[in-house]
Structure 1
Amino acid sequence: MLLNAINMATIAPLRKDIDHPGEIKKHSGPVRLWHWLNLLVITGSLLTVLLNSTLFDVKSNTSYVQQQLQESGVSVTAQQAKSVAHGLEDQVWAIHIYFGYALAALFLFRLIAEFYQPGRQRFFSSLKDAYQTYRSRSQKSTLALHDLTVKSLYLCFYLLLAIMAITGLLMAFDQELGISKATSHSIKDFHGFCMYLILIFIAVHIIGVLLAERKESKGIVSDMINGGKA
């Protein structure tokens, strides 16, 4: 029973407030703006990673560049071709860095917006309320566990965004901050690991929203567009 409840909470967000069943959860303009802009920025950032791991992969492009130049009558060494391939990859990474700046700016925007949210719409207030509701119902309410687990997952997502923004900025300004190459490489590995966790969260979130739209929480997507007016 507990395992089924956790699974349900993991994939299906609630549209209505548990403590106020007749009310649909509201989403302020700044939070909705952040949500959709964040979606665009994360998508763009992931696309640059995908491009550099496929079309602009240095290893595969080195031989391609060398071959194309040789067919044009230009003879280059493998190292010279590799430098060209690296240059192409760096151009895409430059775009990735700009997406990283945007992600950091949006995260700061979300933190500031939190202070101006109406009381019940503040994330940490809603997380606290979900925990108190779960405790007050003697920890036996599947719906309360559902809500608490979903909000806890969102908290993990916010923490991952913070980590991605901080580690990304550390890599972008490693020379200015005096970070060694070894440390920068470790930061890069951790940054990449967190990216996979975010991908998992996004996949679970999308599946959960689709399932919620087919069940009792139909309209949850439109709520994130119109603010939960209906």
Structure 2
Amino acid sequence: MAAIEPTRRSPVHPQQIKKNSPGLRLWHWLNALVITGSLLTVLLNSTLLKTRKNAAFIQDTLKEAGATVTNDQARSVAHELSDKIWTLHTYFGYVLVGLVVFRLLLEFFQVADQKFIRNLKSAYAKYQSVKQQRETARHDFLVKTVYAIFYLMIITMAVTGLCLAFEDDVPALKAIHAFREIHQFTMYLILAFIVVHLAGVFLAERKESPGIVSDMINGGKE
């Protein structure tokens, strides 16, 4: 499990706590809220607001109240309820796209030692060259690689989501069914990442990196 635990300190200079810029911290927490909201809309529509089950419930409830509706009418109402949640899901998707753009722009304006790409390359170089604390350097590189994969998943989710949102307006997009499959598959990958990430942070807090959550709030104070 150690491979999934993020670290607070540099493998080369363990006395230094890694810094998180205000922009990165804002992105992190907004991204967490948007992804949580988006996943909750999927959960609602696949459980409580499933059209077929709700249609039968609506029809039975109205019959008990003395009203009569056809199955098609009940399904139409149930489908409308589901569509409202999918609309909310789409709005979350638009915000996610905005956050992706914000994160890409942020990478250009971060100070040099806080740029993700630079730190990823640096972690790999340290792993290749550091003789002492080689295990720590390898761990740091592995964690950053997992985060890089997460960034790619978020970008994939945003791009395929946009394609699905505008498929009714762009016939060429509607013809490519792979967008929906990729979008759904990426959702499961992101769910897996969330579980792994939370487990890693929990273990890090209890073992060698206590304070890692507060670092993402206050920026990484000594």
Aligned counterpart for 1:81 among listed residues 60, 64, 74: 74
Q: Report the Cα distance in structure 1 between the residues aligned to 2:108 and 2:101, rounded to whole angstroms.
A: 12
Query: Do 1:13 and 1:208's aligned partners in 2 also have CA atoms closer than 8 Å?
Result: yes
1:145 aligns with 2:138: yes
1:64 and 2:49 aligned = no
User: Secondary structure at 1:47's aligned position in 2?
Assistant: helix
Alpha-carbon shift at residue 182 of structure 1 (Å)? 4.9
Of residues 63-72 and 39-48 in structure 1, the stretch that sits farther from structure 2 once superposed is 63-72
- Matching of residue 43 in structure 1 with residue 36 in structure 2: yes
Output one character per residue of 1:22-45: Cα deviation in whole Å (capped at 9) or x when no partner: 100000000000000111111111
Indicate the residue corresponding to 2:212 in structure 1. Answer: 220
C-alpha distance in structure 2 between counterparts of 1:139 and 1:75, whole Å = 78
Q: Aligned equivalents of 1:181 and 1:23: distance in 2?
A: 51
Q: TM-score, normalized by length of structure 2? A: 0.95
Q: Identify the residue that residue 112 of structure 1 maps to in structure 2.
A: 105
**1:210 is the counterpart of 2:197:** no
In 2 relative to 1, CA 157–66 (structure 1 residues): closer, same or farther, beyond 3 Å? Answer: same
| 1:189 matched to 2:146 | no
Query: What is the identity, as a one-letter code, of the residue corresponding to 2:149?
Result: C
1:201 aligns with 2:193: yes
- 150, 164, 170: which one aligns with 2:157: 164
Distance in 1 between residues matched to 2:42 and 2:99, nearest whole Å: 20
TM-aligned CA deviation for residue 138 of structure 1: 6.5
- Residue by residue over 1:81-134, the C-alpha shift from the partner in whole angstroms, topping out at 9 and shown as x without a partner, is 111111100000000000000111011101101111111100000000001011
Show structure 1 runs of 5+ residues with no match. 1-6
User: Which AA in structure 1 matches 2:188?
Assistant: Y
- Give the unaligned 5+ runs of structure 2: none
Opposite residue 71 of structure 1, the aligned amino acid is E
Distance 2:51 2:144 in 1: 41
What is the letter of the counterpart of residue 194 of structure 2? I
User: Equivalent residue for 1:4?
Assistant: none
Q: What is the distance in 2 between the residues matched to 1:88 and 1:139?
A: 60
Give me the identity figure in percent: 55
Contact between 1:27 and 1:224, CA under 8 Å: does it hold in 2? Answer: yes
Name the aligned partner's letter for residue 153 of structure 1: V
Q: CA deviation at 1:74?
A: 2.2
Alignment of 1:92 onto 2:85: yes
What secondary structure, in the 3-state scheme, does the structure 1 residue paired with 2:172 have?
coil
Could you tell me how far apart the structure 1 residues matched to 2:118 and 2:173 are? Answer: 40
**In structure 2, what is the Cα distance between the partners aligned to 1:79 and 1:193?**
31
* Count of matched residue positions in the alignment of Structure 1 and Structure 2: 222
Q: CA deviation at 1:181?
A: 4.2
Sort the Cα spacing of 1:136 and 1:59 in 2 relative to 1 into closer, same or farther, 3 A.
Answer: same
Q: Is the 8 A contact 1:139 1:145 kept in 2?
A: no
TM-score scaled to structure 1, two decimals?
0.92
RMSD: 1.6
How far the C-alpha of 1:72 sits from its partner, in A, is: 2.4
1:101 corresponds to 2:94 = yes
CA separation of 1:106 and 1:65: change in aligned 2, threshold 3 A: same
Q: Secondary structure at the residue paired with 2:69?
A: coil
Alpha-carbon distance in 1 for matches of 2:221, 2:141: 24
